Amino acid sequence: MINKVSKNGNGTEEPLEKQPLGKLEATLWKAADKLRKNIDAAEYKHVVLGLIFLKYISDAFEELFAKLKAEEAQGADPEDKDEYKAENIFFVPQEARWKMLFSKAKQPDIGKFVDGAMDAIEKENASLKGVLPKVYARQNLDPTSLGELIDLIGNIALGDTKARSADVLGHVFEYFLGEFALAEGKKGGQFYTPRSVVELLVEMLEPYHGRVFDPCCGSGGMFVQSEKFVTEHQGRVNDISIYGQESNQTTWRLCKMNLAIRGIDSSQVKWNNEGSFLNDAHKDLKADYIIANPPFNVSDWGGDLLRKDGRWQYGVPPTGNANYAWIQHFLYHLAPNGQAGFVLAKGSLTTKTSGEGEIRKAFIENNLIDCIVNLPAKLFLNTQIPASLWFMSRNRTNGKFRNRSNEILFIYARNLGHLINRRTRELSGEDIQKIANTYHNWRNPDGHYEDIPGFCASAPVSKVKELDYVLTPGRYVGLPDDEDDFDFNERFTALKAELEEQLKEEARLNEIILENLSKIKLMDEK
């Protein structure tokens, strides 16, 4: 069995629930990871996170159940589902309560009991329908290890009032998402955007109120951070509403759980396997804020089926790369005074492949680009391709901020951040504030902004035109040589996409030629 205690600095043991939050997360992860055995991280992720979620909603339920039980003499009914709905707490049927599962943890068929518990909870709570994992009775999941995992998680309070106020589960859940993403490597990055990148996007955009949209939302990090931002700045969480879409169903489930544990309404977070381009789940939405990290340089995005789509107001994006399709998808969904902040591969700042240069020129000449940030390398788990942040606004003269219509802010942040392991870098709180404050001082009417050589520069659009509409920050802050460093992966991806475009065009022209030749032959025969 796994120990339910951990040694403190004095060599004495302390119970899990009394450990500081950071230490608790690490201890939990280490213990849970020991039980993984023959299950890979991608599958085990759902096993652990599903149990953590179940413990949370059971804790919250049991606390209110006990309160209602004590008030039975006054007419309270602890089995009345409406009592729990009124307090925004999930109703947990008897067979799904943690006490019951805990009592059966040593039984060889514990997996069946857990799957049954997940089914029962979904039946009682419509918002969780199709969300919870039912993977516990699988043959490759050792029942002894599952029992130990239940025993381990059962020793931490996750959903009572005290734990909820400290967002213990939120921290644990987010920590586990990050650790699983690290364990999965490239695949893990598809559902998880590093916390520091999310924090930077949200800090720069400041989504205090309105509609927040992420059409490639992964496990929901952008929404969580947006709500956290509002709370930390003494705003009202109810002042923002979230809209999302995700094409991977298992990732969508993680997102729904991630939002549910924080009481965030996820009714407008949609799933379909076609994705945002082919099946836009929010066709009529005009968002106040779009915050997103779309997958980089996707070649198979259905572009050949969308040549005449109404979203391509600034030019038809190439079929071999979705980057400029994503940008125009964001712009299409922006409200008249809306703002967008998103991550893209750095190559998108300079590319001229298949008309991308002309589309970027249209963005600049239509006064849509507010700020570009060049990010440090190694921030992302799923790619080593250098990345950048784009900030775009529909109306850069709307009076909320100063008129920035003839200039673009460039920030070169490549030298910021610190390594947390050999492969991964992260931005510190100070790094995030340095970048965000630079943007706010430049954007706000009462800001005190100054160019800093090698770090930031406010460039007139005329200069951007002189440099052939290239948006790499180094060109403007005084680091042209460094900015143009060669990246094989990025260059190869761009050339591959260009070659695929050319081959498609060749095939199309060959068909036309053959068709015309056949017509000539028929005329001769006559």
Residue 316 DSSP code: P
pLDDT value at 356 more than 70? yes
Whether the CB-CB separation of 49 and 174 falls below 8 Å is answered with: no
User: Which pLDDT belongs to residue 158?
Assistant: 64
pLDDT in tens, 80-101: 999 998 888 899 999 999 999 9
pLDDT in tens, 167-199: 566 667 667 777 776 666 555 445 567 788 999
User: Which pLDDT belongs to residue 494?
Assistant: 56
Buried-exposed string 481-516: b where 16+ CB fall within 10 A, e elsewhere? eebeeebeebeebbeebbebbeeeeeeeeeeeeeee
pLDDT in tens, 194-243: 788 999 999 999 998 899 999 999 888 888 888 888 888 777 778 889 99
User: Which pLDDT belongs to residue 486?
Assistant: 46
Contacts of 380 (CB under 8 A, 6+ apart): 189, 193, 194, 197, 387
Beta-strand runs (E) in 116-231: 210-214
Whether the CB-CB separation of 243 and 283 falls below 8 Å is answered with: no
pLDDT in tens, 72-81: 889 889 999 9
Q: How many whole angstroms separate alpha carbon 451 and alpha carbon 201?
A: 21
Please provide the average confidence, as pLDDT, over all residues in the chain: 83
How many CA atoms does the CB half-sphere of 121 hold within 13 Å? Answer: 29
pLDDT value at 15 more than 80? no
pLDDT value at 151 more than 50? yes
pLDDT in tens, 428-480: 999 999 999 999 999 999 989 999 999 999 999 999 999 999 999 999 998 75
What dihedral do alpha carbons 205, 209, 211, 216 form, nearest 10°? 40
User: Which pLDDT belongs to residue 489?
Assistant: 53
Q: Where are the alpha helices (DSSP H) in 333-428?
A: 356-365
Domains located in the chain, CATH noted: 5-184 (1.20.1260.30), 189-483 (3.40.50.150)
